[in-house]
Homo-oligomer: A and B are copies of this chain.
Amino acid sequence: MARRTGRRPGNPDTREGILTAAREAFAERGYDAASIRAIATRAGVDPALVHHYFGTKEQLFLAAMRIPVNPVEILRVIGDGGREGVGERLVRAFLGVWDSPAGVAGAAMLRSGMSSEWGARMLREFVTRQILRRVLRMLDMEHEPHANLRAALAGSQLVGLAMTRYIVKLEPIASASRETLVAAVAPTLQRYLTGEIDFDRTAS
């Protein structure tokens, strides 16, 4: 491997050092507050090197989380077509990712989200920033009341689906066909995102 000039050679240790620093910074401060500059300082490299290796902060985040898919592309498919049918496109894309090699990364993220506060924070950041906010933006729902709760409810069903189908392997969900699950779960997601819900209900 050719050596580069600069403060540190472009070797795998440097890459890993940046990723480690990024994971620590994202976990400690959250996605927004963790700057490329702070991550670079923590890793003992120049910020330009971080950009050179990983591109944007978002790309660095995905690399730090070892996410082998780019949510942007998948979410574009989900968003195309607007609110109508978004529940179905969402669950279909979700099952497609989990049935692919990327499912391994998803399982690792869910596991780390359960086993430590650090992992939980990373999972929250990922689900909130990379998935839910984007879905809301695509649907032009960002400024509607209860939009974040609607998105989080959809997230709760998807997390539960991943848990039961891929991790705990609860039957008959684990071996159900994708279409059966789409038929069952799509209306749930559609209602959470766009349906009538009495969010302000109090105990009767």
Contacts and interface: CB of A to CB of B under 8 A. Distances in A.
A199 B170 contact: no
Interface of A: 110-111, 113-115, 120, 123-124, 127-128, 148-149, 152-153, 155-161, 163-165, 167-173, 176-177, 179-180, 182-185, 187-188, 191-192, 197-203
20 contacts: A114-B114, A114-B115, A114-B167, A120-B167, A120-B168, A123-B168, A128-B170, A148-B172, A149-B172, A149-B184, A155-B164, A156-B164, A159-B159, A160-B163, A179-B203, A180-B199, A182-B201, A183-B199, A183-B201, A188-B188
A114 B111 CA distance: 6
A124 B169 contact: yes
Contacts of A157: 156-157, 160, 188
A180 B169 CA distance: 30
A171 B176 CA distance: 30
Copies of this chain in the oligomer = 2
Q: DSSP class of A's interface residues: helix, strand, loop or mixed?
A: helix
A160 B91 CA distance: 14
B184 A199 contact: yes
B160 A180 contact: no
Given A114-B114, A160-B163, A203-B179, A170 B184 contact: no
A179 B202 contact: yes
A168 B170 CA distance: 21
Nearest to A128: B170
B173 A163 contact: no
Nearest to A158: B160
A149 B180 CA distance: 10
